[in-house]
Structure 1
Amino acid sequence: MSNKLLNSETKAAVVTGAGSGIGRAVALALTGAGWSVALAGRRPEPLAGTAELAGEHARVITVPTDVSRPGEVDALFSSVRESFGRLDLLFNNAGTFGPGGVPVEDLAYDDWRTVVDVNLTGAFLCAQAAYRQMKEQDPQGGRIINNGSVSAHAPRPHSVAYTATKHALTGLTKSLSLDGRPYRIACGQIDIGNAATEMTERMRTGILQANGELAVEPVMAAADAARTVVHMAELPLEANVQFATVLATAMPYVGRG
């Protein structure tokens, strides 16, 4: 774990999957808005890269974490409590698509479990730890934002594990939103489509469509989605964006299939 100029008076956030993609973009947007941010992810080097991009005056800690392992999640939130004193935001972002282009009948059990363990169980473990801390701290409360996907609404071909977990995240979001009401814990979800990240590189060269054809799809900057996360995060706890969809304008989503 590394530390940079921590200040308990600022709002504190945890961003999982912070070493790249949407997680990195959101972490940078939050630090730019004055937040203290715990950067979590499996690989230390990308986390250090995000911290470096945030700048020497950013208030960050890096905590290598496999979100599918309960002990590592507990250690992450203990580090946040020790460094920041409280937790105002969890951005539940860590995720994996799994092996691409594999038909349902050929998807290996271990590959299914890997996607479920990271995308769903990992999100639950982090939300549970955040919920406990937000319920117990004074002043009470905080916000959880789950990174869903437009696949929470409309699947792509050969994406059964990813799509199933993203649909399940919607149920997690709704349950957390309901159960958090008495404790000033708000929970919302952002569903992002075709942000320019490592995961969407294949969009630029051609990806399988529902009609069996390959097509190049437009992408948008990850920072465009990150701005929406910051907006959701900075609302007073009396207000909540329950669901938001941010996508590349011309991507095949509305009407796809």
Structure 2
Amino acid sequence: MAFPAPFDLTAKVALVTGAGAGLGAAFARMLATAGATVVCADINGAAAKAVGDELVAAGLSATAVELDVTDESRVDTVVQQVAAEQGALDILVNNAGIGDPQSLPLHKVPTSDWRRVLAVNLDSVFLCSRAALRVMTAQGSGKIVNIASMYGLHGSLMSAVPAYATTKGAVVNMTREVGLEYAASNIQVNALCPGFVQTEAQGGLLKHPKVVARLSRNIPMGRVAMPEDIAGALLMLSSSASDYMTGQTLVIDGGVSAA
């Protein structure tokens, strides 16, 4: 598949966290199809390998690595290995994330649940971005795309997700701050805020027909997104098409936040 020049990622190297399923897998496929060599990273090493093998079988360039994004030492090691083995790290997609283990109002949230969500959704963005920026500043270029959520811009009326919403709001503002810090360094940092997407997250809840039907009634476009609906915007933020854009947040929610 040929991509217009601004979206062509030939010779680029991308690291996608949480690439073993759902949005991460769709992002890896999109970047590889656009020409990038994609490193599929996931805490589930077998799932990451399955996605990487699928891409290679399709004639694309990919590899896989097991990565716990909350492990500082492991993050640093993996990023350095990617840069050393591939010769660069041009794109980091901070996609790994989890929801609240239980939908509970704040006064009932266990501290262990709170800290786990913060570690995966927020600390990992810091750890992975810091490691990648060490490489990107040395090479003089780079793209970081943080996956936030529409719940990073407003609260949830559907269920109680205090930890998730808090972390995604923090990711949105971290994107602004880091985007400004590296604006003069030829490194662009932007965020995507997806709405409801049918993935395996939360035990596949968003794929359940009754849940999909209920949510669809509250989405102006009348349907819950598929991962591929978000991947095009990810490509734009990962490519030279967004070279004059940094610290920004792109919302893809079927019109929910416009209401």
Sort the TM-score into its range (normalised by shorter chain): 0.7 to 0.9
Partners of 1:79 and 1:41 in 2: CA distance:
15
Partner AA of 1:215 in structure 2: R
Partner residue in 2 for 1:124: 126
Q: Is the 8 A contact 1:25 1:222 kept in 2?
A: yes
Aligned counterpart for 2:85 among listed residues 76, 83, 86: 83
Secondary structure, aligned partner of 1:68: coil
Paired residue secondary structure (1:195): coil
Is 1:235 the counterpart of 2:240? The answer is yes
Q: CA deviation at 1:183?
A: 1.5
CA RMSD, aligned part only?
A: 1.9
Question: Counterpart in 2 of 1:3?
Answer: none
The yes-or-no answer on 1:247 pairing with 2:253 is: yes
Verify: 1:148 aligned to 2:153, yes or no: no
Contact 1:68 1:122 in 2 (8 A): yes
Supply the distance in 2 between the matched residues of 1:51 and 1:179 (Cα, whole angstroms). 33
The answer to whether the aligner puts 1:220 opposite 2:225 as a matched pair is yes
Deviation for aligned residue 1:53? 2.3
Question: When the two structures are superposed, what TM-score results if normalisation uses the length of structure 2?
Answer: 0.86
CA drift of 1:87 comes to: 1.0
Q: Distance in 2 between matches of 1:133 and 1:112?
A: 31
Name the residue aligned to 1:22.
Answer: 23
Indicate conservation of the 8 Å contact 1:28/1:53, yes or no: no
Matches within 5 A, 1:36-115: 36-56=37-57, 57-115=59-117
1:63 aligned counterpart, secondary structure: strand
TM-score, with length taken from structure 1: 0.86
- Measure how far apart 1:237 and its partner are: 6.5
Task: Tell me the CA shift for residue 243 of structure 1.
Answer: 1.6
Q: Answer with 234-243 or 175-184: which moved more.
A: 234-243
Is the 2:56–2:62 contact (alpha carbons within 8 Å) kept by the matching residues of 1? no
* Count of residues in correspondence between the two structures: 237
Q: Does the CA contact (< 8 Å) of 2:143 and 2:237 recur in 1?
A: no
- 2:163 corresponds to which residue? 161
Q: CA deviation at 1:94?
A: 0.5
Aligned to 1:11: 12
The CA deviation string for residues 141-165 of structure 1, in whole angstroms up to 9 with x for no partner, is 1111100100011222311000000
* d(CA) in 2 for partners of 1:118, 1:146: 13
Ranges in structure 2 where 5+ consecutive residues have no aligned partner:
1-9, 217-222
Q: Counterpart amino acid of 1:31?
A: A
Give the secondary structure class of the aligned counterpart of 1:15. Answer: strand
Instruction: Give the superposition deviation at 1:17.
Output: 0.4
User: 2:18 touches 2:24 (CA, 8 Å); kept in 1?
Assistant: yes
Question: Post-superposition, which runs of at least 4 consecutive aligned residues in structure 1 deviate over 6 A?
Answer: none
User: What CA deviation, in whole Å up to 9, does each residue of 1:87-108 have, x standing for no partner?
Assistant: 1111110000021322211111
Give the structure with the higher percent helix. 2
Cα deviation, 1:7-26, whole Å, max 9, x if unaligned, reads xx710111000001111000
Q: Deviations over 1:56-84 (max 9, x none)?
A: 33221211111111011011102211221
Shift of 1:236: 5.2
Q: CA deviation at 1:182?
A: 2.6
Q: Percent identity?
A: 28
Alignment correspondent of 1:187:
189
Query: Distance between the aligned counterparts of 1:223 and 1:236, measured in 2?
Result: 19
Q: Could you tell me whether the CA contact under 8 Å between 2:17 and 2:41 is conserved in 1?
A: yes
Aligned-residue offset at 1:197: 0.7
